[in-house]
Structure 1
């Protein structure tokens, strides 16, 4: 099995309500939420998936792996 060479999210930005608004990737790129949605949907980012929320919108979440330390909310904040 080939190693997964896709980028991962390593840090996040949040708004005043604590909602995720931007992501930093393992290659150093910064994606706003819409850009991140497109890249996750295209399969370009490892360790995350999309789901449809109660609001009917698509949202990004970490893959369920039983490890809460790698949840998106637990990632470091970047400036």
Structure 2
């Protein structure tokens, strides 16, 4: 059983034909569409990711910058 202070992480992604991430799988096995995932990131429920406002005014999810490109959201395996 996970302790309440342990946040989930993203472990896999689903992309559309343009290569844009459209869904995420969490470390507990939940599949979230982009809007659900964004809400959870903004609520602080997901570790290793944050929300930012793009130049187009939309809010997006990105991985926390840690200098390690292998754990970027784009580098996660597909599901």
Bin for the TM-score computed over the shorter chain: over 0.9
Q: Which residue of 2 aligns with 1:21?
A: 22
* Partner residue, 1:30: 31
Q: How many residues align?
A: 75
Q: CA RMSD in A?
A: 0.8
Deviations 1:11-40 (A, max 9, x none): 000000000000000000000000001000
Matches within 5 A, 1:1-79: 5-78=6-79
1:17 and 1:56 map into 2 onto residues whose CA distance is: 20
Runs of 4+ in 1 over 3 A off after TM superposition: none
In structure 2, what is the Cα distance between the partners aligned to 1:77 and 1:55? 27
The separation in 1 between residues aligned to 2:49 and 2:76, in whole angstroms, is 13
